[in-house]
A and B are shown apart, each in its own frame.
Chain A
């Protein structure tokens, strides 16, 4: 199994530009999660999907952030326009099965730097 795949691994952009982060979950998993990690705020859950449907987006910081999951094997997290304070490592994770007992498996992350 290839695990959770994220692209790009590194992204450097300028303030005001649109950024799109991509995630391919583990095949067969029905939950997908987007997290952000910073030194100041630690690991934060942004949004999660079940069967491609957004379930909880209460962690999305503001309207500049949006996430989609058009099918079971692909999700995007978009920031438009980007700001320097969005600089962080963004992780995607996926899991399968029974609520509350399923283990989340994380991708390697995308390190975003907004200049």
Chain B
């Protein structure tokens, strides 16, 4: 069965420092991996996705994610955090096969302190 784990409920980082939000997955076949961000009282916004190709994927707002097949991870990163990056971040996976379902992680709250 497909699954996604976000091991940290919350990540705290100072503004200007690099940030990492972790995600690991389990899926049969080739994984399709996504990151979404949710600001308070808003819907989920797409940040980036990995389908195939380069392991480093660049997305919106300066975020990037690194696909690591051997570690089954897809960590979200940003070189320099902004206070406005504070939000809830979701990792999601879609495995091979006929399903079009996205399986979401439980979310990680990113808090960037000024």
Contacts and interface: CB of A to CB of B under 8 A. Distances in A.
5 tightest A-B contacts by CB?
A: A106-B43, A106-B44, A43-B104, A108-B43, A42-B106
Interface residues of A, number: 24
Nearest to B45: A106
A42 B100 contact: no
25 contacts: A31-B100, A43-B90, A43-B104, A43-B107, A48-B100, A50-B100, A55-B100, A56-B101, A91-B43, A93-B44, A99-B98, A100-B51, A100-B96, A101-B32, A101-B49, A102-B100, A103-B46, A104-B46, A105-B46, A106-B36, A106-B43, A106-B44, A107-B43, A108-B42, A109-B42
A77 interface: no
Interface in B1-59: 32, 34, 36, 42-46, 49, 51
Contacts of B94: 100
Instruction: Determine chain A's interface SS by DSSP, over half rule.
Output: strand
